[in-house]
Amino acid sequence: MKFRIKAKLADADGMRRTLTRLAHEIIERNKGSKGLVIVGMQTRGVHIANRLKDLIHSIDGGEVPVGVLDVTLYRDDFRLKFKQPQVQATQINFDLDEKSIILVDDVIYTGRTTRAALDALMDLGRAARIQMAVMVDRGHRELPIRPDFVGKNVPTSIGEEVRVRVKEVDDEDAIYLVEMEDLNGEEQPDDA
């Protein structure tokens, strides 16, 4: 699908500052990093999760384990959206029981992906609590879901989309606001 860049919302420095603030907020709210685990959602949430882990370590010295979650199998549009799904790996090599989970994604939009992630996490263990950290909240929630830690609040229209790019997959760290040009195409924009 074609899109046009409308604005650059953050560059690498901006992203680093925002992530640093998020790491401080996470530690403040949880009174340290003890008992915390981070779960990043495929694909870009995983890289953001790893950076938060490093930042938390540099702030209070704690080692927070990072897991990877793919919610494809839990999506409510599984039978509508894909002709054939692309299932990626879920890798959580630690116990979730009685832990405080920080669920990390790049963008929150309708909240449906988060709903799927919550269901997946419930199946994986009984956490003490689940909090959510996102790089960008672009509004338009369709479910009663609210992130606990937000990097940037970006009011958007339905025809726009927020692209968080990370250098591990996209060769640069940046956040863009883009406008979709072909909404009648086969694929709908990501409801991250």
Partner 1 sequence: MTPERVKGQELSSRHLLGLEGMPGEEISHILDTADALKEILDRPIKKVPTLRGVTVVNLFFEPSTRTRLSFELAEKRLSADLMNFSKTGSSVSKGETLLDTAQNIEAMRIDVVVVRHQCPGVPGFLADRLNSVIINAGDGAHEHPTQALLDMLTLRQKFGDIKGLKVAIVGDIAHSRVALSNIYGLKALGAEVMLCGPPTLMPRGAESLPIKVCHDIDEAISWADALNVLRLQLERQKSGFLPSLREYHMTFGITMKRLEKAAEMPLIMHPGPMNRGVEIESAVADSGHSVVLDQVTNGVAVRMAVLVLLSAPEVKLT
Pairwise CA distance, residues 89 & 32, whole Å = 30
Least Å distance, CB 95 to partner 1, is: 10
Bridge partners of 160, per DSSP, are 179
Indicate the residue among 85 and 159 with the shorter CB distance to partner 1.
85
> Mapping DSSP to helix (H, G, I), strand (E, B) and coil, where does residue 187 land?
coil
Q: Residue 18's closest CA among 186, 166, 170, 180? A: 166
Indicate the residue among 48 and 56 with the shorter CB distance to partner 1.
48
Indicate the residue among 80 and 155 with the shorter CB distance to partner 1.
80
Q: Residue 124's closest CA among 103, 153, 145? A: 103
Q: Residue 37's closest CA among 65, 58, 59? A: 65
Least Å distance, CB 70 to partner 1, is: 7
Bridge partners of 107, per DSSP, are 136
Least Å distance, CB 191 to partner 1, is: 8
Indicate the residue among 33 and 42 with the shorter CB distance to partner 1.
42
Least Å distance, CB 71 to partner 1, is: 9
Residues near partner 1 (CB under 8 A): 41-45, 70, 72-74, 77-91, 105-107, 113, 119-120, 123-125, 184-186, 188, 190, 192
